Amino acid sequence: MSDALAQVSQRLRRKLTLAIWLGRAARQGSLVLAICACAALLGRVSFDLELWQAALCFLPLVAVPFSAWRGTPSLVPSEEGLNAWIDLHSGAHGYLLADFELDDPRWRERAAQQLEALPELPALRLSQLARPVLPALAFAALALFIPLASADSGPSTGLFERAIAGLSEQLETLNEIVDLDEIAADELAERIEQLGEDLDAAEPEAMLEAIDALREKLAAHGQDAASLAQELGDRFGAIGASAMEDTEALQALLQDALARMLESGLQDELMQQLRELSPELARSMAGNEMRLPEGFELSAEQMRTLSEGLRAGLQEKLSTLNLAGLVNMEQLALARDFASLSELAAELHECDEDCKKPGGT
C-alpha cells in the first residue's frame, strides 16, 4: 500500500472514530443528563438543596466520555473496509484496492491518479450530535434554575378556605338538627367568620390550630345532640314495643320522653312529624311545648305509631349528623354499650355491710 493511500486511510479512520465516539457520548450523555436533572429537581423540592448542592447531582456526567469510548474502536471499519470506501468514493476503478492488496509498483501510478480524484473527507455533522443533547440540557437548566416555592410556606390558602367552608356547613347542619343556644351559635358563627378574615395574615400553624379547635367544639355539640337523639330514640323504641301493655304507665313514659325532647332542642322538625302522625294530639297541644294535654289519652295503636314515627325521625337526625362529620357513630355505639353494661352491673350489685353505695343495706 502506498504512503499516500495509507495517510488518507489513517485520516478517514480518525474521523470515523471521532464521529462514532461523539455519537455514543451524545446518546449516553443525554440519558445521564436527564436522570441527573430529575435527581437535582427532586433534591431541590424534597430536601431544599442549594444550587451548588443540586449541581453535584450532575457529577456522573464525568464518566460519560470514558463509557462512550468503551467499544468504540470495535465499531470502526477494518483497514480493508476503509480502503474499499476510499476506492468507491474516488471513482470505483479498483486501482486503490489493487494497490492495497497487491502492493505492486505497477499499480502505484494509476492508484495515485485515482486518489487525486477523491473529494475532501466528510465533516462531522454537529447538528445530528446535538439533537439528543439539547432537550436534555434544557431540562437540566430548568431543574437547576426554575423557582420553587419555599418548603416552609405551609398549607395553601385554598386548603384553609375549604376547611372554613366545611366548618360553616357543619354549623348550619347543627342549627338545623338541634336548637342551639343563641349565644353559643352566634359565638361559633363569629369565630368562623373571623377565621375567614384572618386567612391571609395568620400563621399557617396558628390557623390550623384554630380550625382544629373550632372543629372539636362543633363535634362536641354534635356528639351531645347525637347522644340525646340516641337516648330519646331508645325511649320511643321501648314505648312502641310495649304499647300493648300498661297504656297508662306507657303514656306517662311518653310524656316524659316528649318533655325530654323539648329540653334537648330536638323538637322543631319533629313537631311537624307529630302533627302528621297524630293531628288530634297536635291540635290539643299548647303551641310547640310538646306536652300531652290533661285528660288526653292515647290508644295503644296511637302510642305505637307516634313512638315509632318519632324514633324514625330521630334516627334520620343521627344520620344527618354523621354525614356532616359531627358525630362518630362507632364511638356513640361504644358509649351506649358501656352505659348499658354499667346499668347491668348496678342491677346485679348486692350490698353488704362493707357496701358504700348510697342506700345500701
Q: Tell me: the pLDDT tens digits for 120-164?
A: 887 888 888 888 899 999 999 999 999 886 544 445 577 888 888
User: 25 with 64: CB under 8 angstroms?
Assistant: yes
Question: Exposure pattern of 12-21 as b/e (b: 16+ CB <10 Å)?
Answer: bbeebeebbb
- For residues 37 and 347, the model is more confident at 37
pLDDT tens for residues 263-307? 666 655 556 666 666 676 666 665 545 566 666 666 667 677 777
What pLDDT was estimated at residue 206? 81
- How long a stretch of residues is the chain? 361
Q: What is the CA radius of gyration of the chain?
A: 46
Q: Residue 248, class by beta-carbon neighbours within 10 Å (0-12 exposed, 13-18 middle, 19+ buried)?
A: exposed
Report the percentage of the chain scoring pLDDT > 90: 18
- First-to-last alpha carbon distance for the chain, in angstroms, is 130
Residues with Cβ within 8 Å of residue 259, at least 6 apart in sequence: 290, 291
- For residues 51 and 159, the model is more confident at 51
313, three cell numbers: 325521625
User: 41 with 147: CB under 8 angstroms?
Assistant: no
- In the predicted model, what is the mean pLDDT of residues 230-259? 68
- In the predicted model, what is the mean pLDDT of residues 172-194? 81
Rounded Cα distance, 144 and 204, in Å: 28
No. of helices (H) and no. of strands (E), the chain:
17, 0
Q: Is the pLDDT of residue 31 over 60?
A: yes
Query: DSSP letter at 288?
Result: T
User: 256 with 334: CB under 8 angstroms?
Assistant: no
Position 340 confidence tier, pLDDT thresholds 50, 70, 90: very low
Position 65 confidence tier, pLDDT thresholds 50, 70, 90: very high
Domains of the chain by residue range: 3-145, 154-361
Q: Residue 214, class by beta-carbon neighbours within 10 Å (0-12 exposed, 13-18 middle, 19+ buried)?
A: buried
pLDDT tens for residues 268-280? 555 666 666 667 6
CA 290 to chain CA centroid, nearest Å: 48
Report phi then psi at 116, rounded to 5: -65, -25
Q: Report pTM.
A: 0.44
User: Poorest-confidence range of 34-38, 92-96, 208-212, 245-249?
Assistant: 245-249
DSSP-assigned letters across all residues of 43-112: HHHHH---HHHHHGGGGGGGGHHHHHHTTHHHHSPPHHHHHHHHHHTTT--SHHHHHHHH--GGGHHHHH
Q: Is the pLDDT of residue 99 over 90?
A: no
